[in-house]
A and B are shown apart, each in its own frame.
Chain A
């Protein structure tokens, strides 16, 4: 099972919106609504920000939103802030050889 495909980097100015894509196949994103997104700041453990494609954990900012179309999931960060500068990873359930697979990761830079 290969990693899900994400763009290596995405950037935006404060206040702008950015979208990160996560492309899989029919055996993972395409067939299941079990996609989650993680934010990881340097030297820190990841933090879940979206689960089940579009649900936010309690207390998390509504500037983060998730969606899915076909084999591709997306994370949108609106009203970009300096603190959003981090690495972002998608993860999906898969019916392939493993149970879960992460994306390749996207570095978000706030200009």
Chain B
């Protein structure tokens, strides 16, 4: 069974940093991109970027540049989303989702359960 399991909810203070993990199982981890998607409270979906676990190549959304880093440890089938200098506006649900490497559309067929991040002083 294909699964993407994300790390648990986090409460952080402004200025702190955070790493969210996304562990894949039940499939060949290096054959699929891992995308990250943000959803702020009561708002829509925003594509943040993706990583190819086979070589750590990334595509990033410039809107998040300088604030977000995506990485992977293929030895443990886990992708990471790093958020630095957190602000209240980073309060959101963050999802990881896999996408076939052969897919040009954003066809994310399996998603993590989401990680709720709350930034508050």
Contacts and interface: CB of A to CB of B under 8 A. Distances in A.
Interface stretch (A9-17, A19-27, A76-84, A101-109): A101-109
Contacts of A32: 104
B59 interface: yes
A98 B47 contact: yes
A51 B107 CA distance: 6
Contact of A97 (B45, B62, B103, B108): B62
Interface string A53-66: 00001000000000
A3 B43 CA distance: 12
A96 to B, nearest CB: 10
Interface in B56-102: 59, 61-63, 95, 97
A45 B46 CA distance: 13
Interface bracket on A: 20 to 34
A46 B96 CA distance: 11
B105 A46 contact: no
A3 B35 CA distance: 17
B65 to A, nearest CB: 10
B47 A57 contact: no
Contacts of A3: 44
A103 B44 contact: yes
Given A3-B44, A46-B45, A99-B61, A36 B105 contact: yes
B111 interface: yes
Given A91-B47, A100-B106, 11 more contacts: A3-B44, A46-B45, A46-B108, A46-B111, A51-B103, A89-B45, A92-B106, A93-B104, A97-B62, A99-B59, A102-B46
Interface of B: 35, 37, 44-47, 50, 59, 61-63, 95, 97, 103-109, 111-114
Closest 5 CB pairs between A and B? A45-B111, A51-B107, A105-B44, A34-B105, A98-B61
